Amino acid sequence: METTLLHSTIHVASFPSPTRSIRLKRVNSLKPTLSFTHPVIRFNFKPLNYRPVNCLSHPHINHQHHYHDHHHHHRHNDCSELSGPQKAVIKFAKATRWLDLANFLREHLQLCCCAAALFLAAAACPYLLPKPAIKPLQNAFLAVAFPLVGVSASLDALTDIAGGKVNIHVLMAFAAFASIFMGNSLEGGLLLAMFNLAHIAEEFFTSRAMVDVKELKENYPDSVLVLNVDDDNLPDVSDLAYRSVPVHDVEVGSYILVGAGEAVPVDCEVYQGTATITIEHLTGEVKPLEAKVGDRIPGGARNLDGRMILKATKTWNESTLNRIVQLTEEAQLNKPKLQRWLDEFGEQYSKVVVVLSLAIALIGPFLFKWSFIGTSVCRGSVYRALGLMVAASPCALAVAPLAYATAISSCARKGILLKGGQVLDALASCHTIAFDKTGTLTTGGLMFKAIEPIYGHWIRSKKTHDISCCIPNCEKEALAVAAAMEKGTTHPIGRAVVDHSIGKDLPSVSIDRFEYFPGRGLTATVNGIEVLKNIF
Q: Rounded to two decimals, what is the model's pTM?
A: 0.49
Reduced to 3 states (helix: H, G, I; strand: E, B; else coil), residue 448 is strand
Percent of the chain with pLDDT over 90: 11
pLDDT tens by residue, 284-307: 677 788 888 999 999 888 888 888
| Three state DSSP letters for 301-360 | CEECCCCEEEEECCCCCCCHHHHHHHHHHHHCCCCCHHHHHHHHHHHHHHHHHHHHHHHH
Can you tell me the mean pLDDT for 5-30? Answer: 37
Residue 277 lies in a domain: yes
pLDDT tens by residue, 483-509: 888 876 777 788 888 888 888 888 887
pLDDT on residue 143: 92
Q: What is the dihedral of CA 101, 105, 107, 108, to 10 degrees?
A: 140
pLDDT tens by residue, 348-369: 888 899 899 899 989 988 888 8
Give the gyration radius of the chain's Cα atoms: 34
Which pLDDT band holds residue 312 (cuts at 50, 70, 90)?
Answer: very high
Does 281 have pLDDT greater than 60? yes
* Range scoring the smallest mean pLDDT among 7-11, 128-132, 261-265: 7-11
Range of 359's domain? Answer: 84-210+333-427
The domain total for the chain is 3
Query: Which of 403, 427, 451 is the last residue in one of the domains?
Result: 427
Residues 204 and 338 in one domain: yes
Tell me, what CATH number does 323's domain have? 2.70.150.10
Residues 449 and 510 in one domain: yes
pLDDT on residue 97: 93
Residue 58 lies in a domain: no
pLDDT on residue 524: 78
Can you tell me the mean pLDDT for 258-263? Answer: 86
Residue 76 lies in a domain: no
Q: Are strands 255-258 and 242-246 parallel, antiparallel or unpaired?
A: unpaired
Does 141 have pLDDT greater than 90? yes
- Sign of the C-alpha dihedral computed for residues 387, 391, 394 and 396 taken in this order: positive
Does 282 have pLDDT greater than 60? yes
Query: Which of 283, 312, 329 is the last residue in one of the domains?
Result: 329
C-alpha closest to that of 286 among 126, 445, 396, 437: 445
Residue 42 CB neighbours (<10 A): 12
Q: Is 436 a catalytic residue?
A: yes
In Å, how far are 68, 69, 76, 193, 402 from 338, measured between CA atoms?
A: 17, 15, 26, 23, 11
Q: Which one-letter DSSP state was computed for residue 464?
A: S
C-alpha closest to that of 189 among 118, 88, 275: 118
Residues with Cβ within 8 Å of residue 56, at least 6 apart in sequence: 327, 331, 419
Residue 437 lies in a domain: no
Q: Are strands 447-452 and 2-6 parallel, antiparallel or unpaired?
A: parallel
Quickly count helices (H) and strands (E) in the chain: 17, 16
Residues 201 and 340 in one domain: yes
Which pLDDT band holds residue 119 (cuts at 50, 70, 90)?
Answer: very high
505 neighbors 477 (Cβ within 8 angstroms): no
Residue 399 lies in a domain: yes
Burial class (CB in 10 A: 0-12, 13-18, 19+), 481: buried
What distance in Å separates the CA atoms of residue 110 and residue 114, rounded to the nearest whole number? 6
Residues 272 and 338 in one domain: no
Residues 161 and 122 in one domain: yes
Residues 358 and 385 in one domain: yes
What distance in Å separates the CA atoms of residue 47 and residue 491, rounded to the nearest whole number? 18
Residues 107 and 161 in one domain: yes
Q: Which of 222, 232, 239, 436 is catalytic?
A: 436
Residues 158 and 179 in one domain: yes
303 neighbors 261 (Cβ within 8 angstroms): yes
Largest CA distance in the chain: 120
pLDDT tens by residue, 30-54: 333 333 333 333 333 333 333 333 3
Residues 339 and 483 in one domain: no
C-alpha closest to that of 73 among 169, 174, 214: 169
Residue 115 lies in a domain: yes
Does 265 have pLDDT greater than 60? yes
Q: For the chain, first and last CA: distance in Å?
A: 26
Can you tell me the mean pLDDT for 318-347? Answer: 74
Query: Which of 427, 457, 488 is the last residue in one of the domains?
Result: 427
Residues 416 and 447 in one domain: no
| Three state DSSP letters for 260-292 | CCCECCCCEEEEECCEEEECHHHHCCCCCEEEC
503 backbone φψ class: left, alpha, beta (φ>0; ψ -120 to 50): left
C-alpha closest to that of 451 among 471, 470, 479, 473: 479
Residues 88 and 203 in one domain: yes
Residue 320 lies in a domain: yes
What are the start-end ranges of the H helices in 368-447?
Answer: 381-391, 395-398, 402-413, 422-428
Identify the residue with better confidence: 512 or 141.
141
What are the start-end ranges of the H helices in 129-210?
Answer: 131-162, 168-181, 185-209
Query: How many angstroms from the chain centroid is the CA of residue 216?
Result: 9
Which pLDDT band holds residue 84 (cuts at 50, 70, 90)?
Answer: confident
Residue 447 lies in a domain: yes
What distance in Å separates the CA atoms of residue 454 and residue 439, rounded to the nearest whole number? 23
Residues 273 and 412 in one domain: no
Does 145 have pLDDT greater than 70? yes
